[in-house]
Amino acid sequence: MSSSAAVQPQMGKSPVSEISRRLRGGDEVAWLITLLFSISVLLVTALLVWELWVGSEPSRAKSGFSFLTSKLWNPVTDEFGAYPFIYGTIVTSVLALAIAVPTGVGAAIYLSELATGKWSDSLTFLVELLAAVPSVIFGLLAMFTLVPMMRETIGPAIKSVFGSLPLFSGPVYGVGYFTAGLVMAIMIFPYIISVSREALMSVPREQREAALALGATKWESTWQIVVPYARLGIIGSVFLAFARALGETMAVTMVIGNDPSVHASLFAPGYTIAAVIANEFTEATGKVYPAALVELGLVLFVLTFILNGLARLLILITTQKGSARA
């Protein structure tokens, strides 16, 4: 400790110089600054909730809890119900997950476990590039390619097989829940790959080798040991993707059909919370209309909040049961 020798002579000096010496050491300063930064995050969140709460007051006063269950959305008569939007948001997000989770996790397994060196690196680079594409670009792409494709080939093909199910009944317009879910799936796909791949790569080499050394094949070691070991990270990637899907606005607005009603068929047009806020806020007049949109924002916030809570809970449960280290 060479510094202690330099510090010694200062000990007898005034308290002020002692304080300045301590401050130069940085511990307290660093503590204070980093504390301020982390508090600012809390502050912003609190402010957000406050704004949403206050802003939605007229709407809450008018509809109360029936806001959540009412299917009616009529700006002319000032009647607003969130149900079609909540329904649309959840249906499209779940659909997106149903498509993107198996493919994304599969691709992550390929990239981290099976693909070799340069090939894996370049594919990963492309995947990460995909994650950086702005959502409006995906929206455009979907409008010009996916929507007609949906209407002319994919939709009729699915209908010819599952047409009897209410889930796939009715005409195929091209825009609708299914198309929106598909676009969302494409958009969250790189997130799932990227985070799952990281989780898989962080599984210690010894785990793989332990399985191989017992006579497991490469795939057995991957599927039975590596993937379960990384499951927390994989679950994390799924929830990250879910949160992103819930809030996805631009691309969805462009392909969902913007119809504030509830349909059983996935081919029917619908609406999501984020899409309706983006579409109607500039035109919302009066007192209750904008407040209803703000309340929708509050609903989305709460939805995300509940989802995160569920994710935590799931992680807690699986950790206790399977005892994985994070």
Q: State the minimum distance, in angstroms, from the CB of residue 225 to another protein.
A: 6
> Contact between 324 and another protein (CB under 8 A)?
yes
Per the CB < 8 A criterion, the answer to whether 270 and 281 are in contact is no
CA 191 from centroid of its chain's CA atoms: 9
Q: In angstroms, what CA-CA distances link 148 with 88, 185, 255? A: 21, 18, 11
Q: State the minimum distance, in angstroms, from the CB of residue 263 to another protein.
A: 44
User: Per-residue x/- marks for another protein, 80-119, CB under 8 A?
Assistant: ------------------------------------xx--
Applying CB under 8 A, which of residues 138, 229, 242, 267 lies at the interface with another protein? 229
Environment class of residue 170 by beta-carbon count within 10 Å: exposed (0-12), middle (13-18) or buried (19+)? middle
Nearest-angstrom CA–CA distance, 35 and 26:
14
Residue with Cβ nearer another protein (153 or 217): 217
Q: State the minimum distance, in angstroms, from the CB of residue 250 to another protein.
A: 40
Nearest-angstrom CA–CA distance, 62 and 41:
32
- Give Cβ neighbours of residue 264 (< 8 Å, ≥ 6 apart): 166, 167, 169
Nearest-angstrom CA–CA distance, 103 and 273:
26
Q: State the minimum distance, in angstroms, from the CB of residue 215 to another protein.
A: 3
- For another protein, how many residues bind (rule: CB under 8 A)? 24
Residue with Cβ nearer another protein (221 or 265): 221
Q: State the minimum distance, in angstroms, from the CB of residue 101 to another protein.
A: 21
**What's phi and psi for 84, nearest 5 deg?**
-60, -35
Q: State the minimum distance, in angstroms, from the CB of residue 183 to another protein.
A: 36
* Residue ranges in 199-228 that form contacts with another protein under rule CB under 8 A: 204, 206-217, 220, 224-225, 228
Residue with Cβ nearer another protein (50 or 119): 119
> Contact between 322 and another protein (CB under 8 A)?
yes
Q: In angstroms, what CA-CA distances link 67 with 54, 73, 76, 129? A: 16, 10, 16, 40
Q: Using alpha carbons, select from 249, 242, 243, 251 the residue that is nearest to residue 293.
A: 249
Q: State the minimum distance, in angstroms, from the CB of residue 308 to another protein.
A: 24
Residue with Cβ nearer another protein (146 or 225): 225
> Contact between 57 and another protein (CB under 8 A)?
no
Residue with Cβ nearer another protein (75 or 228): 228
Query: Does residue 231 sit in helix, strand or coil?
Result: helix
The number of C-alpha atoms within 13 Å of 206 and in the hemisphere containing its C-beta is 0
> Contact between 24 and another protein (CB under 8 A)?
no
Per the CB < 8 A criterion, the answer to whether 192 and 241 are in contact is yes
> Contact between 12 and another protein (CB under 8 A)?
no
Residue with Cβ nearer another protein (308 or 318): 318
Residue with Cβ nearer another protein (51 or 209): 209
Radius of gyration of the chain (CA): 26
Which parts of this chain interact with another protein (CB under 8 A)? 116-117, 204, 206-217, 220, 224-225, 228-229, 322-325
